[in-house]
Amino acid sequence: MSYWNDAGGIHILGGDLETMGNQANLSRAALPCQADVGGLIGQSAPMHLLNDLIGRVSRSTSPVLLIGDTGTGKELVARAIHFGGLRCEKALVTVDCSALTPTLVESELFGHVKGAFTGADCSRQGLLQTAHEGTIFLDEIGELPTFLQAKFLRALQEKEIRPVGSTERIQIDVRVIAATNRDLEAGVRGGTFRQDLYFRLNVVQIRLPPLCERKVDIPLLVSHFLEKLSDPLQSVRTISDGALRRLMAYDWPGNVRELENAIECALVLSSGSVLTADDLASVPYGTSARNAPDRNELVPLEELERRAIANTLLETGGNKLSAARLLGIGKTTLYRRLRRYTQLPADRLRAERGPNGKQT
Ligand SMILES: Nc1ncnc2c1ncn2[C@@H]1O[C@H](COP(=O)(O)OP(=O)(O)OP(=O)(O)O)[C@@H](O)[C@H]1O
Ligand SMILES: [Mg+2]
């Protein structure tokens, strides 16, 4: 669970954050009609639609439900909506519903008074109250414990909360943005998610497109991540055509997060000034969802080992020491293997060459 209150990363076209701060007395229509959702990279048609939607919902305070696979940018969008909107000067409180401690969750959200339970030495404000006049971002809302769903719904509808152990009610005014990568409707059908809460949260629904539906954004994203992640002292700022082709051929089930990790890993492995296909050890060959080998595929032992190393490096964000530990091998062995993989055999090198036969 974390919360912060800053305005980083969002730039408002036709205005700035200072003028946004004086917007309490402006009508909604006077808000800039388009937020430059800083940090959200993409020029594809789905991203244009998404940016447009973000601009629109930023101008209202209606609840928003963000739906999308892991790594599609739900948290980034939640931030963009908050910091691009009427409440940008107030707190954005993020609650990861999957990480709430069952015994503490009620007091975390609603607060408690002194003596409410053993160990409650003093009163404590709940996160809903911290988010007063701001936004509460309920991440992984599908994981909200069932026993809290009714209480939460009441708090949203009545706009007031009662801290644990208190008889007094506190007025709250929060904008709710919820996110999930689960099928909430299935949860409703299966009885694990309250239908009334679902309706309450699902006022404006925004679906985030998976990266495989907007592959044209990959080159832009890659250049963004090269800029963001490369060591200023290192000169890797570009990527070869062959490497880009390989990135475009993969379906990215982990979406933008997986791509970001792959670029970070490649930067760790790279020794030249241009990222080549050889540096992309963490990007599986032909194992994207669409091109996945069938279950009966016989894979040479060396390739299996290569994939295991690549996936572990991806998992550890390129940290070789952690990867070696996870794989149960020494760091030197890992380095030796990586060196071997980057000296690819001639037939694979040929496959890596572009159609014009040039090494990319
Ligand atoms: N359009 C984008 N442009 C730039 N970076 C992006 C974009 N979408 C996602 N990212 C980056 O990808 C990573 C994952 O994004 P984020 O945490 O918002 O995803 P998520 O949908 O909340 O994933 P999860 O369901 O796993 O929590 C972050 O580092 C984020 O900055
Ligand atoms: Mg998230």
Decide which of 332 and 295 is more confident: 332
Domain boundary among 173, 207, 241: 207
> Are 257 and 278 members of one domain?
yes
> Are 123 and 195 members of one domain?
yes
Q: How many domains does the chain have?
A: 3
Could you give the CA distance from residue 306 to residue 131 in angstroms, rounded to a whole number? 47
Domain boundary among 176, 207, 238: 207
Predicted confidence at residue 118, as pLDDT, reads 86
Residue with the two structure tokens 């006022």: 203
Could you give the CA distance from residue 315 to residue 323 in angstroms, rounded to a whole number? 8
Is the C-beta atom of 254 inside 6 A of ligand 1?
no
Query: Quick check: is 151 in a domain?
Result: yes
Q: Are 93 and 3 in contact (CB under 8 A)?
A: yes
Q: Are 67 and 207 in contact (CB under 8 A)?
A: yes
**pLDDT 10s digits, 78-102:** 999 999 999 999 999 999 998 888 7
Is the C-beta atom of 68 inside 6 A of ligand 1?
yes
Pocket test for ligand 1, best of 43, 65, 72, 227 (most atoms within 8 A of CB): 72
Decide which of 49 and 314 is more confident: 49
Domain boundary among 207, 231, 262: 207
Query: Quick check: is 16 in a domain?
Result: yes
> Are 198 and 218 members of one domain?
no
**Out of 185-199, 206-220, 225-239, least confident range:** 225-239
Cα of 80 vs centre of ligand 1, distance in Å, is 12
CATH number at residue 193: 3.40.50.300
CATH number at residue 348: 1.10.10.60
Q: Whose CA is nearest to atom 26 of ligand 1?
A: 70
Predicted confidence at residue 352, as pLDDT, reads 39
Over range 319-339, report the average pLDDT.
Answer: 81
Burial class from Cβ neighbours inside 10 Å (0-12, 13-18, 19+) for residue 176 reads buried
Query: Quick check: is 182 in a domain?
Result: yes
Cα of 146 vs centre of ligand 2, distance in Å, is 21
Q: Whose CA is nearest to atom 27 of ligand 1?
A: 70
Predicted confidence at residue 26, as pLDDT, reads 20
Predicted confidence at residue 77, as pLDDT, reads 97
Is the C-beta atom of 70 inside 6 A of ligand 1?
yes
> Are 311 and 229 members of one domain?
no
> Are 198 and 85 members of one domain?
yes
Predicted confidence at residue 334, as pLDDT, reads 83
Which ligand is nearest the CA of 75, by number? Answer: 1
> Are 62 and 196 members of one domain?
yes
Under the banding of pLDDT at 50, 70 and 90, the label for residue 64 is very high
Is the C-beta atom of 143 inside 6 A of ligand 1?
no
Decide which of 272 and 255 is more confident: 255
Predicted confidence at residue 293, as pLDDT, reads 45
> Are 123 and 197 members of one domain?
yes
pLDDT higher than 70, residue 38: no
Give, in order, the Cα–Cα distances in Å from 38 to each of 35, 69, 73. Answer: 8, 21, 12
Any residues with CB less than 8 A from the CB of 339 and at least 6 apart, and which? Answer: none
**Out of 165-169, 318-322, 337-341, least confident range:** 337-341
Domain encompassing residue 238: 1-23+214-288
> Are 138 and 234 members of one domain?
no
The CA-based dihedral angle spanning residues 93, 94, 100, 103, taken in that order and rounded to the nearest 10 degrees: 10
Cα of 70 vs centre of ligand 1, distance in Å, is 8
Over range 155-181, report the average pLDDT.
Answer: 94
> Are 163 and 297 members of one domain?
no
The whole-chain average pLDDT of the chain stands at 79
pLDDT higher than 70, residue 235: no
Over range 241-268, report the average pLDDT.
Answer: 92
Under the banding of pLDDT at 50, 70 and 90, the label for residue 159 is very high
> Are 125 and 200 members of one domain?
yes
Predicted confidence at residue 295, as pLDDT, reads 45
Is the C-beta atom of 149 inside 6 A of ligand 1?
no
Residue type, 349: L
Is the C-beta atom of 256 inside 6 A of ligand 1?
yes
**pLDDT 10s digits, 193-211:** 999 999 999 999 999 999 9
> Are 106 and 232 members of one domain?
no
Under the banding of pLDDT at 50, 70 and 90, the label for residue 134 is very high
Query: Quick check: is 29 in a domain?
Result: no
Percent of the chain with pLDDT over 90: 50
Is the C-beta atom of 263 inside 6 A of ligand 1?
no
Query: Quick check: is 200 in a domain?
Result: yes
Q: Whose CA is nearest to atom 23 of ligand 1?
A: 71
CATH number at residue 256: 1.10.8.60
Predicted confidence at residue 2, as pLDDT, reads 32
Decide which of 170 and 268 is more confident: 170
Under the banding of pLDDT at 50, 70 and 90, the label for residue 336 is confident
Over range 145-159, report the average pLDDT.
Answer: 91
> Are 125 and 108 members of one domain?
yes
Predicted confidence at residue 263, as pLDDT, reads 93
Query: Quick check: is 193 in a domain?
Result: yes
Query: Quick check: is 40 in a domain?
Result: no
CA-nearest of 319, 215, 303, 315 to 267 is: 319
Predicted confidence at residue 236, as pLDDT, reads 60
